[in-house]
Amino acid sequence: MGGETDGSAQSRWTVWGLEASMVVTDAGVLAAAEDIVRSVLAEIDQACSRFRADSELMRLQPVLAQGASVSPTLLTLVNHALDAARWTDGDVDPTLGADLTALGYDRDIVSVKLSPDSLTGGGALNLDRGEASLPSRTGSGWARVTVDGDVLTVPADLRLDLGATAKAHAADRAAAMVHSVLGCGVLVSLGGDIATAGTAPLPGAWQVLVQDLPSDPLQRISLEPGFAVATSSTQKRRWKHGGKDVHHILDPRFGLPAEDVWRSVTVAARSCLEANAFSTAGVVRGLAAPGWFRSMRVSARLVDREGRVVTTGGWPKENYVREEAVTHG
């Protein structure tokens, strides 16, 4: 969206194996705004990436069971992840890092997909959800993580994965910083997680295209300034494990990929962190998600296996459009 007619400008690049994009309402600050966004992403990656040995989280992993002082950035990321767990009654659990590694998701998604079959040294996991095959789990992992001041304690049998909420927080923080420093309106999109700050281009709202894969139904929505939208998908981050297709959104009860009831779940909220938490939880809840969303007044759009759309919480009616002149969601 945007262009010469309204003074806005857009840039795109790749980060964390995902497409990042940004729109600012003042083309003259585009380069400076992109520098701010890239700096925010670099700081968050350095704090919590599971895929780099020098990140703060990975360096501290051996001592977290005894408790360790962490940086303000990592502390914020952990607290946000625990907030998401509380909001969703544990459907979004940040302690599934070991489960993702066991499924072969131990490096960035581009590298995982390039592997012919991602297997760990122990071989393929049993992906059958039958009672006899379920792995043994000790309660809710997230409830066993403690934060006391700047001291983080994680039991030795757990590994943090802050990826989903960290990405959403990154979008929120980057948008807020661009607006604060440069004074322009801004939209930041990180692989389907969108945050906005400041004023929007004319006609006064951000025009966002909601679509996961090109074959999925698409819809343009008007996103009011300061609001956010996030899409969680079972289709994009997929790879082979033990000859079977798996995806990255895990059901914490089993430590296995959530059932593919929904191809994608999109949620609009006041922050990208909140939108991402509920969109992820919607995938995990499966068939129960629409009723739960309605009871929570969550504004959501869910697309099932057959491409059928279910909406909740005042999500706008479908207005299918061509893909031109809109921002991807």
The pLDDT of residue 127 is 52
- Torsion, Cα 24 178 225 216, to 10 degrees, reads 60
Return the percentage of the chain with pLDDT > 70, whole number.
81
pLDDT of 295 reads 97
Q: Which residue has the higher pLDDT, 122 or 248?
A: 248
Give yes or no for a contact between 314 and 221, defined as CB atoms under 8 angstroms apart. no
Please tell me the distance from the alpha carbon of residue 247 to that of residue 112, in angstroms, as a whole number: 11
pLDDT (mean) for 284-310: 96
Tell me the average pLDDT across 55-65.
97
Is residue 234 within 8 A of residue 264, CB to CB? The reply is yes
Among 39-43, 88-92, 120-124, name the one with the lowest average pLDDT: 120-124
Cβ neighbors of 306 (< 8 A, separation 6 or more) are none
Q: Is the pLDDT of residue 123 over 60?
A: no
Kindly report, residue by residue over 30-41, the tens digit of the pLDDT: 999 999 999 999
Other CB atoms closer than 10 Å to residue 322's CB: what's the count?
9
Where do the H-state alpha helices sit in the chain? 30-48, 56-60, 72-87, 97-102, 109-114, 163-182, 272-285, 289-296
Q: What is the pLDDT of residue 64?
A: 98
Residue 42 has pLDDT above 90, yes or no: yes
Residue 17: φ, ψ to 5°: 75, 10
Asked if pLDDT for residue 105 goes beyond 80, the answer is no
* 180-234 residue pLDDT tens: 999 999 999 998 899 999 999 988 899 999 998 888 999 999 999 999 999 998 8
Q: State how far the Cα of 85 lies from the Cα of 265, in Å rounded to an integer.
A: 17
- 161 in the Ramachandran plot: left (φ > 0), alpha (ψ -120 to 50) or beta? beta
Average pLDDT over residues 68-85: 98
d(CA 308, CA 264): 11
| Average pLDDT, rounded, for the chain | 86
Count of CA atoms in the C-beta half-sphere (13 A) of 47: 22
Q: Quick one: pLDDT band at residue 124, thresholds 50, 70, 90?
A: very low
Residue 101 has what pLDDT? 83
pLDDT of 1-14, one tens digit each? 444 447 899 999 99
What is residue 181's predicted lDDT score, i.e. its pLDDT? Answer: 98
Q: How confident is the model at residue 317 (pLDDT cuts 50, 70, 90)?
A: confident
